[in-house]
Chains A and B, each alone.
Chain A
Amino acid sequence: MKIRKAVITAAGEHQRHLPLQTFIDGSGRNRKVLGLLVDEASSAGIEEVGVVIQPGTEHLYRDAIEHVTANVTFMEQAEPRGYGHAVLSADPFLGDETFLLMVSDHAYVSEKTGQSCASQLLEVASGEGCVVSAVQPTHEGRLKDFGAIGGVLFDAGRELYEVKAVVEKPTPTEAEQTLMTPGIRHGYYLCFFGMHVLQASVMEILRRRDADWQPGDHLDLSSALHEAAGRGRYLAQVMKGRRYDLDSRHGLLVGQLAVSLSGHYRDEVLCAITDLLAAGAMQQPAEPLT
């Protein structure tokens, strides 16, 4: 099954600036985060990318997608009804096609030589023909930042899990009760990586929920995915790679360092860090003699 389309969501109230941040990619070029994400998708064989944005903001993003190879379409989320609604805003763009969903406030570094994170995920999704979420074991202290899944081991060799439950930003109390997954260290949970391959069945759930929407409701993706887990096979792939949440404290800095340290100028960056550390040590006040 060929997956041709991807959706990147960039309509979040507090995330609008992040896709527009300038990053230096692994080759040393200045890029916008959104451009990097589109490249991540196209490197996996994606031909068309839809970007969901807030109404009237398309002009802000135009420059960010210069030099990308995929076709990019901008779609507006008419009103902020939640993340699930943002995804649903791409419905006309998607038709009934299976697609790659990415968030716009993450940076990715693959640890699998020659294969990007998106490519790893699409390979599994194409092979298994079902909904697949990319996940990463995450300490419970960071549960408040991510959606998390609970499940059972599906294929140990490929670190593939069958999803039984999905909870958005669970408390550790709830996670311990519903999301403990065999094979994962105590205190760690399989949290979303910011990438999913979704099928029309998930969009159907979102459409139904949107039809029932009332003012004040929050149409989120995780509860739709939880429902999807009860309806058919839904897998989670532990990625060979790392995701960096750019929206966290020092997220941009850490994300940039991670991308740079995995690129061509690794030694140059390391030297710069070492210099900084040495200079910092020099500036420390001398220990008083005792």
Chain B
Amino acid sequence: MPLEVLCAGLSLDELMRECQALDEFRRASPNLYQRVRALFFLYALYRFYIPQALTVEDGSTPGAVVSFEANAHLLERRFVEALDHFLEDQERDGISDALSSALAKAYYELGIQNLADQVQASVRAVRGNQWMFRTGAISDYPLRVIGELRVAEAGGYPVVHETTAVRMDLSHSAWSDIFFLGMDFPGGARVLNISVDLAVHGRDSVTKPPVEAFFRVIDEPLIRLSSVDLGVVTEITQLNDVFDFAQDYLGLLKAALIASGVIPIGLEGSGERLEALLEDLVGPGRGIELSSCVNDIPKGSRLAVSTNLLGGLIAACMRATGQTRSLDGPLGESDRRLVAARAILGEWLGGSGGGWQDSGGVWPGIKVIEGCEASADDPEYGISMGRLLPKHTLLGTDVISRETRSKLQDSLVLVHGGMAQNVGPILEMVTERYLLRSAEAWKARQTAIGLFDEILGALREGDIKRLGMLTTKQFMGPLQTIIPWASTHFTERLIAAVRSEFGEDFWGFWMLGGMSGGGMGFIFEPSRKAEAVERMQGIMVVLKEQLEHSLPFAMDPVVYDFGINEDGSRARLLRGEDALMAAGYYAMTLPLLLRRDPRALTESRRSEMARFEKKADAEPAYDAVRDRLVSNLFPRADEVPGEEVSLASLLEANGFDPVLHERIRDDMRCGLIGLSKNRMPTSSVVEDVRSGDVALSWDAADEARGREALEGGEVAVVTLAAGAASRWTEGAGVVKALHPFCKFEGRHRTFLELHLAKTRAAGRAFGVSPLHVITTSYLTHRPIRRFLESEGYHGMAEEVMLSPGRSIGLRLIPMRRDLRFEWEEMPQQRLDERAQKMRASVRAALLGWAENCGEGTDYRENTPLQCLHPVGHWYEVPNLLLNGTLAHLLERRPQLKTLMLHNIDTVGANLDPGILGYHRRTGAVLTFEVISRRIEDRGGGLARVNGALRLVEGLAMPREEDEFKLSYYNSNTCWIDVERLLRAFALERTDLEDAAKVGEAVRALSERLPTYITLKEVKKRWGHGQEDIFPVAQFERLWGDMTALPEVACSYVVVPRARGQQLKEQAQLDGWVRDGSRDAVDSLCRWDC
């Protein structure tokens, strides 16, 4: 029976008893999946059911806080200790909303950790992998490159050239290829996996296996790694550098060296010499070279390019060291299975993780991959139902005819939509849903399993039209039922556009991978495929242009040509004159070699040059390298003059204050300001609020008062929309206000449309439409204006006003001390072992980057928009004064007395008459809405600081533990008394016309507020969908600090979570929908224009 049915109508006491019984069960159960499922049930009870019961039983329970010590356990991944601590707190103090959130998080994290541990244990336990963990010294090192490769012929060593397909999942597996799920319910884990060759349409002339790996012996005692696509080559002489994945862009190649056993993982940290290992591996004075090439296939294709590249690299290394049955030709089944197991190991080493079907490109053609029950011989036996590694059944031409294969290729258009999003949160959501067996998701999964059989049937019968209908049904039905976030606004508009253009000849849509927007398939009537291939590109580009400020696009959309690959991973031994690497390899390395003294080149290098010359005479790909040699020798400077001008003009146009910037830069460099200086003095006493400091409710008189004000048109809304969605899109730099984040009434709506829908509802409820100001910045102003114009202001052209930003900052390269402070002094979640190592490696590289670029210098190495930053939401209110918006508001509504200011992501904030009435009653300048704090609410709160009540930012807390004393978290929704605020600025209404006076008043007040230095992550895009993330420094002033000014009287009101919740990360969305918040917000809106 599903959890929601079981819990329906249970009282708080009954729920608590169930929790206790479940906790006892999970402690006693010897079976991993019973334990894990119990942990997820407990998570769901504490996350969704108990908070609701608390509200019903006894309202909110302010005053309860989360223990700092227990939270420290959580951050350090000591989940068991954290749980026990929280449960003791619950036993002693009773349950509260805060504690419930903490328990939910701890149970969830422990569940995920248990699953991840099991996968890792299984990877290590696979026979053929175990020895690599035991080899801890060179004296134990067991591998040797096979003799054939150690003998130079015609001056060069033979090259193992491995080509590997990528894979597409024609059924979409409903994510059943997540390891945990296949191990829990092997019968439900089935995919129809096809190996394909690719070409980018319009760029490449023929399709070919996109993944290539090259292995050879070299006569230098080092390991040379190179990636042709990334243009990176490195030479490794220290063993530890092999384990440093983020040192360069060659982490995948390093993972392949380790996972193939060439560098056994047991040697990590052993202090052994690489030269000694190479002596055993290839002989004295020699080394090896490994090179990869994915033929510029863009990242994020959802075709598992990186897993199959890893597989291809591992296969090449294994062949070279005699770990496969054959040195060339296709791999045998047992070798393919081992390569797949090693690829899983490699992904774990790199801190990433795909599904178990991802290495499907190593196998040939079309195959069914399905979960397998664990038998007595398997390490998983008795622990989980299924094995880690699935079973592959090749479907030959007797099952799926050659004709059908051709028909599929004649109908399917494979594309990359350009969006590249982190699918990690989606995969966690799927895992949780499956393990909880929620009724809807479970039913959807059964439907997906049924659809799999139908899809396979359609393919057997060669009925591609039906196939298209079924894949569409899969996407529109079970996939979106299980995970609504699998679809995006872009995808749905794209499907609609294709359908409108091709009508009945558009047979179906098919989603690849974790979510749509990247790799996707469109199935057409064959006679129109050629036309569709051309049109898809155009349609996608137009849509991208329309949505590029709303959604994170990493690249321009592309259409692929593809063909079914009937070989899987296959190797050739290149000997004699053919013993060369990829053509692109020489484009990268020849300029380096030509700069060296020819006498310093080894004999084999010189002979390789001769072979290259000969090859270039015969093969156009190599000849082209020769042609480009001069431009490669003298690369153009990185700077694009046009962009420099653009940055300068942007600065000038948006109110950049160079004097202030230089002062802040100098102060930051000499340490006067910085992350550690954001904190208040340690002598500050921070305490929780006292009784009476906050209002827990408002009365009927307040409501009447508020209603009267609303009916009188005395209130306006101010939506803060200057932000670049740094956390929401992990630094992609889109306009958060325009992000179509969730479906309401059947279609995706942006944050902005949602807020306008609430204002529309207020207008209809109170008879007067409130004015609605949207504050913007350099980044958001034009996109928001264009969007509103294109949408006809959602029918609110009369009410909506834009308040353009008048302040802008230029980001700075951070100080290393600030980076260290952020990473070492600030609390943060420890990751699992491999991911933590990866993080450490990335951070070491970033410290080097900051030093090399010049700490505290201007950040200009990115697109201009990514170099600028809004200077904190404090400025957005003064901007209303500076840019004339407030004057304009007062001109249109002279009766205006109150503004409701709120963040773009506080989606539940609306013009509530009760709260408005309360605000009016207190006579405060500002009334802030606060919510009772949950464990995930980090970043300050309402406190008494040295006895005075005020809001404190998290980065200003004198001690980390102080935040954990605070019961209330700032929602940043603030009711402003216009007259009193003007007085706080020492202004009258009439002064608003006097720009100089207003400017002086704003400057005077701003100098009394603290300047915070913060680090923000920005993405820098390059290559084909590649992204780097850099932490950059910027300064901010924050609105909450107004509460610290003695002349600004403030009051505080506690509001329900659905009203005060801010949506900062997309991973929050699922819980937000499931706990009923979405419906609560929806009920505040009127969508009809």
- State whether A171 touches B323 (Cβ < 8 A): yes
User: In the complex, which of the residues A143, A144, A176 contacts B128, with contact meaning CB atoms closer than 8 Å?
Assistant: A176
Inter-subunit contact A173/B140 (CB<8 Å) = no
Is A94 an interface residue, CB under 8 A from the partner?
A: no
Q: Given A139, A141, A143, A177, which contacts B127 in the complex, CB threshold below 8 Å?
A: A177
Bound: A209/B261 CA distance, A: 33
B77 contacts chain A at the CB level, 8 A cutoff: no
Task: Render B718-747 as a binary contact track against A, CB cut-off 8 A, 1 for contact.
Answer: 000000000000000000000000000000
Within 8 A of B (CB), among A159-178: 171-177
CA distance A144 to B132 in the complex (A): 15
Query: For chain A residues 184-227, which have a beta carbon within 8 Å of chain B?
Result: 186-187
| CB within 8 Å for A171 and B134 given contacts A176-B128, A177-B127, A180-B127 | no
Q: Which A residues are CB-close (under 8 A) to B775?
A: none
Provided the pairs A176-B127, A177-B334 are in contact, do residues A141 and B323 lie with their beta carbons within 8 angstroms? no
How distant is A132 from chain B, measured CB to nearest CB, in Å?
27
Q: Please, which residue of chain B has its CB at the minimum distance from the CB of A139? A: B140
Residue of B nearest to A141 (CB): B140
Which residue on B lies nearest to A180, using beta carbons? B127
| C-alpha spacing A176/B261, complex, angstroms | 13
* Whole-angstrom distance between the Cβ of B1022 and the nearest chain A Cβ: 37
- Chain B 304-329, CB-CB to A under 8 Å as 1, else 0, gives 00000000000000100111000000
Contact assessment for A187 and B128 in the assembled complex, using a CB-CB cutoff below 8 Å: no
Assess the B131–A173 pair: CB atoms within 8 A: yes
Specify the chain B residue showing the minimal Cβ separation from A144: B144
B132-154 toward A: CB 8 Å interface, digit per residue (1/0)?
10110001111110000000000
Instruction: Please tell me if the beta carbons of A187 and B127 are within 8 angstroms of each other in the complex.
Output: no
Which residue of the partner chain B has the closest CB to A170? B322
* Chain A CB within 8 A of B130 CB: yes
| A172 and B127 form a contact (CB under 8 A) | no
Q: Is the CB of B140 within 8 A of A171?
A: no
Contacts of B322 in A (CB 8 A): 171
B residues near A174, Cβ cutoff 8 Å: 128, 323
B131 near A172 with CB under 8 A, answer yes
A141 touching B130, Cβ below 8 Å:
no
Identity of the chain B residue whose Cβ is nearest the Cβ of A178 in the assembled complex: B127
Residues of A within 8 A of B323 (CB): 171, 173-174
Residues 116-143 of A, flagged 1 when their CB comes within 8 A of B and 0 if not, give 0000000000000000000000011111
Q: A173 to chain B: which residues have CB within 8 Å? A: 128-129, 131, 261, 318, 323, 338
Name the residue among B129, B131, B140, B142 with the largest chain A CB count within 10 angstroms: B142
Distance in angstroms from A56 CB to nearest chain B CB is 26
Residues of A with C-beta under 8 A to B143 = 144, 171-172
**Main secondary structure on chain B at its contact with chain A?**
loop
Asked whether A172 lies within 8 Å of B142 as measured between CB atoms, the reply is yes
B142 adjacent to A141 (CB under 8 Å): yes
Residues of A within 8 A of B139 (CB): 141
B261 closest partner in A (C-beta): A173
CA distance A141 to B129 in the complex (A): 14
The answer for the CA separation of A139 and B142 in the assembled complex, in Å, is 9
B520 to chain A, nearest CB (A): 38
Which residue of chain A is the closest to B134 with respect to CB atoms? A187
Residue of A nearest to B321 (CB): A171
* Chain A residues within an 8 Å CB radius of B318: 173
Contact with B along A235-264 (1 / 0, CB 8 A): 000000000000000000000000000000
Residues of B within 8 Å of A139, CB to CB, are 140
Q: Which of A25-41 contact B (CB under 8 A)?
A: none
| Docked CA distance A124–B1065 (Å) | 72
Give complex CA distance A186, B140 in Å. Answer: 13
Contacts of A143 in B (CB 8 A): 142
Alpha-carbon distance between A171 and B146 when the two chains are bound, in angstroms:
11
Question: What is the 8 Å Cβ interface bit string for chain B, positions 865-885, against chain A (1 contact, 0 not)?
Answer: 000000000000000000000
State in angstroms the CA–CA spacing of A176 and B132 once bound together: 11
**Contact (Cβ within 8 A) B128 A142:** no
Distance in angstroms between the alpha carbons of A174 and B139 in the assembled complex = 20
A141-B261 in contact (CB<8A): no
Kindly state the interface size class of chain A when it binds its partner.
10 to 19
- Closest residue of A by beta carbon distance from B260: A173
How far does the Cβ of A145 sit from chain B's closest Cβ, in whole Å?
10
Instruction: State in angstroms the CA–CA spacing of A161 and B892 once bound together.
Output: 98
- Closest-by-CB residue of A relative to B130 is A176
Docked complex Cα distance between A39 and B1017 (Å): 77
CA distance A144 to B144 in the complex (A): 8
CA A186 to CA B135, docked complex, whole Å: 12
Instruction: Kindly provide the distance from the CB of A143 to the nearest chain B CB, expressed in whole angstroms.
Output: 5
Q: B144 and A172: CB pair below 8 A?
A: no
Q: How far apart are the CA atoms of A172 and B130 in the complex, in Å? A: 9
Contact between B130 and A186, CB atoms less than 8 A apart: yes
Instruction: Report yes or no: B261 in contact with A172, Cβ–Cβ below 8 A.
Output: yes
Contacts of B141 in A (CB 8 A): 141
Name the interface residues of B101-132: CB closer than 8 Å to any CB of A: 127-132
B488 → chain A, closest Cβ, in Å? 43
| B134 neighbours in A (Cβ, 8 Å) | 140, 186-187
Q: How far is the CB of A8 from chain B (nearest CB, A)?
A: 26
Are A140 and B142 in contact, CB atoms less than 8 angstroms apart?
Answer: yes
Cα distance A141–B334 in the bound complex, in angstroms: 23
Interface residues in B338-359 (C-beta closer than 8 Å to A): 338
Q: Is the CB of A176 within 8 A of B131?
A: yes
Q: Which of A139, A144, A173, A177 has the most CB of B within 10 A?
A: A173
Question: With a CB–CB cut-off of 8 A, which chain A residues contact B129?
Answer: 173, 176
Given contacts A171-B142, A171-B143, A180-B127, contact A141 B321 (CB under 8 A): no
Name the one of B127, B130, B142 contacting A144, with C-beta atoms under 8 angstroms.
Answer: B142
A141 to B144, CA, bound (A): 11
Which among A140, A172, A186, A187 has the highest number of chain B CB atoms within 10 Å?
A: A172
A142 to B280, CA, bound (A): 11
Using Cβ atoms and an 8 Å threshold, which residues of chain A touch B128? 173-174, 176-177
Q: Smallest distance from the beta carbon of B1088 to chain A beta carbons, Å?
A: 66
A187–B261 alpha-carbon span in the complex (Å)? 15
Interface string of B511-523 (1 = CB under 8 A from A): 0000000000000
What is the CA–CA distance of A186 and B124 in the complex, to the nearest angstrom? 14
**In the bound complex, how far is the Cα of B143 from the Cα of A140, in angstroms?**
10
Q: In the docked arrangement, what's the CA distance between A32 and B1074, Å?
A: 85
State A186–B125 Cα separation when bound (angstroms).
12
Chain B residues, CB < 8 A from A180? 127
Which residues of the partner chain B approach A140 to less than 8 Å between Cβ atoms?
131, 134-135, 140, 142
Kindly report which residue of chain B lies nearest to residue A171, judged by CB atoms: B323
Nearest CB of A to B131, in Å: 4
- Considering the chains assembled together, what is the distance between the CA atoms of A176 and B127 in angstroms? 5
Contacts of B334 in A (CB 8 A): 177
Q: Which residues of the partner chain B approach A186 to less than 8 Å between Cβ atoms?
A: 130, 134
- Closest approach, in angstroms, between the C-beta of A51 and any C-beta of chain B? 27
- Bound together, the chains give a CA A272 to CA B535 distance in angstroms of 88
Give A5 Cβ to nearest chain B Cβ, in Å. 34
B142 & A142 in contact (Cβ 8 Å cutoff)? yes
Contacts of B135 in A (CB 8 A): 140-141, 172
Q: Please, how many angstroms separate the alpha-carbon atoms of A174 and B322 in the complex? A: 9
Q: CA A140 – CA B139 in complex, angstroms?
A: 10
Q: What separation, in Å, do the CA atoms of A180 and B126 have in the docked complex?
A: 13
User: Which residues of the partner chain B approach A176 to less than 8 Å between Cβ atoms?
Assistant: 127-131
Q: CA A173 – CA B143 in complex, angstroms?
A: 10
Interface string of B387-431 (1 = CB under 8 A from A): 000000000000000000000000000000000000000000000
Residue ranges of B at the interface with A (Cβ–Cβ < 8 Å): 127-132, 134-135, 139-144, 261, 318, 321-323, 334, 338
Instruction: Report 15 cross-chain contacts, Cβ distance below 8 Å, ordered by A residue.
Output: A140-B134, A140-B140, A141-B139, A171-B143, A171-B321, A172-B132, A172-B142, A172-B143, A173-B128, A173-B318, A173-B338, A176-B127, A177-B127, A177-B128, A180-B127
Q: 5 closest A-B pairs (Cβ-Cβ)?
A: A141-B140, A172-B131, A173-B323, A173-B128, A171-B323
In the complex, given contacts A172-B261, A173-B318, A187-B134, what are 14 additional A-B residue pairs having Cβ atoms less than 8 angstroms apart? Answer: A140-B142, A141-B139, A141-B142, A142-B142, A143-B142, A171-B323, A172-B131, A172-B132, A172-B135, A172-B142, A176-B130, A177-B128, A186-B130, A187-B131
